[in-house]
Homo-oligomer: A and B are copies of this chain.
Amino acid sequence: MPAALQSKEAVIKQLSAVFRTHGYDGTTLSLLSEATGLVKASLYHYFPKGKQDMALAVIQNRTELFKREVIEPIDPDLDMRQQFEIMCDNLIHYYDHGRFACSMEVFSLGQSRILFQAIIAERVEAWIELLTTMLKKAGLTETLARQRAIDAIVRIEGALVVARASGNEQYFIDTLHALPAQLLEQ
């Protein structure tokens, strides 16, 4: 068989940038074609069910990337403050310094909201659980840990929106730099 011009993961990452810039409904096959260098028919070779398949691949890729590049690199032997600092640095890269929206944000708008509602909701709750566990390890009570976990995700998502709406990515960077201290304060 012929060698692929680029790996499937490389293709998905380019799809990801388009979906996260234009949203699901705003993303056209032409845009995806332009971004990947593959014509529409070729995209259907990789993703037989079309646009839905591509969006799903992006969601799965983002989920995996989150684990691999945000969570797993955190050394569990460090103290919790340092762990949160590393996590936030990783998040800045994961979200491309605030240049693109969060996949959970864009896929909860329009048509894609109905298509991916369940899987996105699951990811939000899983993230809340993860942060709650970390914050309990840092010594917070169950209740406070959960509150702060939600607040952290709220801040991250909000910072992405504010950065994009204002055209100033610094709002995102600053928010994430402030986060570790805020999570653990008092």
CB closest chain-B residue, reference A164: B108
Q: Count the A residues whose beta carbon is within 8 Å of the partner chain — how many?
A: 44
| Interface hits, A21-73 → B, CB 8 Å | 21-27
Contact of A158 among B121, B155, B165, B178 (CB under 8 A): B155
Chain B positions within 8 Å of A174 at CB level: 150
| Interface hits, A127-186 → B, CB 8 Å | 147, 150-151, 153-159, 161-162, 164-168, 171, 174-175, 178
Given contacts A124-B166, A150-B171, A166-B124, A109 and B26 within 8 Å (CB-CB):
yes
Chain A interface, >50% SS class: helix
Once bound together, how far apart are the Cα atoms of A25 and B18, in whole Å? Answer: 13
Check if A165 sits within 8 Å of B124, measured CB to CB.
Answer: yes
Contact of A171 among B25, B113, B154, B162 (CB under 8 A): B154
Q: What is the oligomeric copy number?
A: 2
Check if B154 sits within 8 Å of A102, measured CB to CB.
Answer: no
Question: A125 at the A/B interface (Cβ < 8 Å)?
Answer: yes
Question: A11 at the A/B interface (Cβ < 8 Å)?
Answer: no
Q: Among the interface residues A21, A111, A120, A166, which one has the most CB atoms of the partner chain B within 10 A? A: A166
Chain B positions within 8 Å of A167 at CB level: 117, 121
